[in-house]
Amino acid sequence: MDAIVLLKEDHKTVEKLFKQFEKAGDEAYDEKRKLVDQIIGELTTHAYIEEEVFYPVARAEVPETSDHILESVEEHHVVVWMLSELKDMDPRDERFDAKVTVLMENVRHHVEEEEDEWFPEVRKAMGRKRLQELGEEMEKARAKAPGEPLAVSSAQQ
């Protein structure tokens, strides 16, 4: 699969989970816990494959995207720390919904920048065949993704 198509599919999966969270009742604690665990899993894997495969290759082959990529890594840094906090937070904690809301704002902003500002530049510069190779590489990397958000490299940068 084309690398950018694959990443956009991941974005859609996460957006669906966000919508479900927004629809969940205030006191649907079990449902919210389950959804947030799924969000943690999806976003950790997604950040991992972007950081291990897509970002470094894009930066090397399309150097004009460097500033966008550096900014994206900083955004990942904030997101994975929030994920690690949510992992251990009780959904009954008065800060839980607020933290998920800010997480969603951060991720939506981040996805918008990827999809609208710099993925199109990468697509134009790398072309179909190269993006397909990269997609395959990311599929393979998925299997190696950690379950722990702070094991993603941006967490320690």
Report how far apart the first and last C-alpha atoms of the chain are (Å, whole number).
30
Could you give the CA distance from residue 40 to residue 17 in angstroms, rounded to a whole number? 11
Token digits of residue 29: 């604690």
Find the part of the chain contacting Fe ion (CB under 5 A) among 59-67, 107-115, 122-130, 132-140. Answer: 107-115
Site string (8-47) toward Fe ion, x via CB under 5 A: ----------------------------------------
Closer residue to Fe ion in complex, CB, 10/32: 10
Could you give the CA distance from residue 6 to residue 32 in angstroms, rounded to a whole number? 26
Closer residue to Fe ion in complex, CB, 24/145: 145
Closer residue to Fe ion in complex, CB, 2/31: 2
Site string (52-91) toward Fe ion, x via CB under 5 A: ----------------------------------------
Closer residue to Fe ion in complex, CB, 4/91: 4
Neighbour count for residue 65 (Cβ, 10 Å): 19
Could you give the CA distance from residue 41 to residue 47 in angstroms, rounded to a whole number? 10
User: Which 118-147 residues touch Fe ion, going by CB under 5 A?
Assistant: none
User: Could you give the C-alpha distances from 127 to 35, 51, 83, in angstroms and in order?
Assistant: 36, 20, 34
Helix axes 3-23, 29-49, angle to 10 degrees: 160
DSSP 152: S
Q: How far is the CB of 157 from Fe ion (least distance, A)?
A: 14
Number of residues that bind Fe ion (CB under 5 A): 2
Closer residue to Fe ion in complex, CB, 50/52: 50
Residues of this chain that bind Fe ion (CB under 5 A): 50, 114
